[in-house]
């Protein structure tokens, strides 16, 4: 299965990569960088998928920004997170011990092509829920500050 790749952002941390046009940022559709702010990437209009290991913060951030995920959890403790995102309809997951490049391409194609509209609908719904839930923290901070001021004033 083939699909059109619009743009690819790759993060690397090793400086000993091979010297060739791919790694030397000579392709305008591919950026290789040692640092990219995840929130800015997730919030960008052209980000249509995030390939991720799925830590707690990354799972929350992808939901908050409404970005579908393809996760490959590296540890057994991460296994429940992709299951929750798959149940919510906002991501797919692969097992780190038994996946191939073909499987990655197939899963990416399922998410990016969004044939029945399920991913876009579920991602939009989950994004709305996450944005509302994020405001609970602001309310908690206000309540705590009120209690501190009240206690200090007594």
The runs of H, that is alpha helices, within 1-154 are 38-43, 56-65, 80-88, 101-113, 118-152
The reply to whether 85 falls in a domain is: yes
The reply to whether 26 falls in a domain is: no
* Predicted TM-score of the model (pTM): 0.68
Q: What is the pLDDT of residue 19?
A: 61
pLDDT truncated to tens, each residue of the chain (154 aa)? 344 444 455 555 545 555 655 566 666 666 667 677 888 888 888 788 888 877 778 888 888 998 898 888 777 767 778 888 888 888 888 887 888 888 888 888 888 888 777 788 888 888 988 888 888 777 788 788 888 887 887 6
Residue 60: which domain range? Answer: 37-152
The reply to whether 137 falls in a domain is: yes
Q: What is the pLDDT of residue 77?
A: 66
The reply to whether 141 falls in a domain is: yes
Q: What is the pLDDT of residue 4?
A: 43
Interacting residues of 29 by C-beta distance below 8 A, sequence separation 6+: 5, 6, 7, 8
Residue 152 C-alpha from the chain's centroid: 42
The reply to whether 46 falls in a domain is: yes
The reply to whether 31 falls in a domain is: no
The reply to whether 17 falls in a domain is: no
* Overall domain count for the chain: 1
For residue 7, give the 3-state DSSP assignment.
coil
- The structure tokens 């960088």 sit at 33
* Residue 97, domain CATH: 3.40.50.2000
The reply to whether 11 falls in a domain is: no
DSSP 13: -
């Amino acid at each position: 299965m083939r699909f059109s790749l619009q743009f690819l952002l790759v993060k690397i941390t090793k400086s000993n990569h091979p010297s060739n046009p791919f790694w030397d940022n000579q392709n305008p559709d591919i950026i290789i960088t040692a640092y990219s702010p995840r929130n800015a990437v997730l919030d960008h209009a052209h980000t249509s998928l995030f390939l991720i290991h799925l830590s707690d913060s990354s799972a929350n951030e992808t939901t908050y920004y409404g970005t579908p995920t393809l996760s490959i959890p590296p540890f057994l403790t991460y296994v429940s997170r992709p299951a929750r995102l798959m149940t919510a309809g906002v991501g797919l997951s692969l097992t780190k011990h038994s996946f191939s490049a073909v499987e990655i391409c197939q899963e990416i194609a399922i998410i990016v092509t969004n044939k029945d509209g399920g991913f876009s609908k579920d991602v939009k719904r989950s994004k709305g829920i996450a944005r509302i839930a994020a405001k609970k923290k602001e309310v908690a901070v206000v309540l705590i500050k009120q209690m501190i001021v009240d206690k200090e004033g007594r």
